[in-house]
């Protein structure tokens, strides 16, 4: 297990979008450019092919190619965590091995969705993946999308496995997160941007942030201020980012849609979303641009 004071995956991680060309193919040049920009502006880790990276609509080959391209672009300046979660344990193991070959440092593994297995089967799923591969695992608890929790008691049992080192928490169960933090050495990452500072303040490791695609330096500054002992500044920076966080994450559209709309408007690599997702309306993009400009002065 890894201590939160020395996190294996570092602390300011961006859940990076997957750039596509106008025709909808994988844009590896764009991915390399965006990854380099994110790292230059404070991200010390990148999570690829997660929810924000549109993993349900990218192929296995595209996932591996994305890891290899981003690894080439950022070198050892950032950790790369590859999303490999599927509802099929065997398929997930295959993706884990391919991610390792492509150059990933770790694996983001979501709970097995759709079939909604009981907790003993969820636990067995993660153990089988961890036993089958050499890279460390970050458990991804996002029941709003999977339809199933990784219950705190399940996480407590899994914490004893040497290959399971971290959690991305999108459960909105702050009590459950604190229970696990108090009883394990797991590195805990906020997966909901509104919780970045709150979870960090009670011993979390950092964040895996969708909003970091568009304000990486601002979100990193929240953690830096807290580490420097300036908790008032950390709170102010978090509060100032809240309107944009809300517009991106809680306005009725997936974060992928809103982030890509804003990145495209800022002339940064993004491209279209893949169906069944649809692009944001012009009025939504205008609102996002206005909030971004108010926050950054750009």
Give the side-chain half-sphere CA count within 13 A for 31. 27
Residue 238 exposed, middle or buried by CB count within 10 Å (0-12, 13-18, 19+): buried
- Residue spans of alpha helices (H) in 211-253: 216-227, 231-249
Rounded to whole angstroms, the Cα distance separating 123 from 3 reads 22
Reference 70, options 98, 93, 37, 41; nearest CA is 37
The residue from 168, 188, 200, 207 that is catalytic is 168
Residue 184: how many other CB atoms lie within 10 Å: 18
Active-site residue, 140 included: yes
Residue 2 and residue 286: Cα distance in Å, rounded? 43
Sign of the CA dihedral with 197 first, then 223, 234, and 194 last: negative
CA 19 – CA 257 distance, rounded (Å): 12
Specify whether the backbone of 51 is left (phi greater than 0), alpha (psi in -120 to 50) or beta: alpha
Q: Which residues pair with 79 in a beta bridge?
A: 45
Options 79, 97, 101, 140, the catalytic residue: 140
| 132 phi/psi in degrees, rounded to 5 | -90, -10
Active-site amino acid positions? 140, 168
């Amino acid at each position: 297990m890894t201590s939160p004071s020395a996190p294996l995956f570092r602390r300011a991680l961006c859940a990076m979008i997957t750039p596509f060309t106008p025709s909808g193919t994988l844009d590896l040049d764009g991915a390399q450019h965006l990854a380099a920009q994110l790292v230059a502006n404070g991200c010390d880790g990148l999570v690829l092919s997660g929810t924000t990276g549109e993993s349900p609509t990218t192929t296995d080959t595209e996932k591996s190619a994305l890891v290899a391209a981003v690894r080439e672009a950022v070198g050892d300046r950032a950790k790369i965590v590859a999303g490999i979660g599927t509802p099929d344990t065997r398929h997930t193991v295959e993706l884990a091995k391919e991610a390792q070959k492509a150059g990933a440092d770790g694996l983001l593994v979501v709970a097995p969705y759709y079939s909604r297995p009981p907790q003993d089967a969820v636990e067995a799923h993660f153990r089988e993946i961890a036993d089958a591969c050499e890279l460390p695992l970050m458990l991804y608890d996002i029941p709003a999308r999977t339809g199933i929790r990784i219950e705190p008691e399940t996480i407590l049992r899994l914490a004893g496995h040497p290959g399971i080192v971290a959690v991305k928490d999108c459960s909105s169960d702050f009590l459950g997160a604190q229970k696990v933090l108090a009883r394990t050495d797991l590195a805990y990452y906020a997966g909901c941007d509104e919780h970045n500072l709150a979870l960090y303040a009670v011993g979390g490791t950092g964040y895996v942030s969708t909003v970091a695609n568009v304000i990486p330096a601002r979100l990193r500054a929240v953690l830096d201020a807290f580490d420097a002992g300036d908790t008032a500044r950390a709170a102010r920076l978090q509060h100032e980012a809240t309107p944009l966080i809300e517009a991106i994450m809680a306005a009725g559209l997936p974060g992928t849609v809103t982030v890509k709309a804003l990145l495209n408007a800022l002339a940064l690599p993004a491209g279209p979303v893949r169906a069944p997702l649809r692009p944001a309306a012009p009025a939504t993009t205008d609102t996002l641009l206005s909030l971004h400009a108010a926050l950054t002065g750009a």
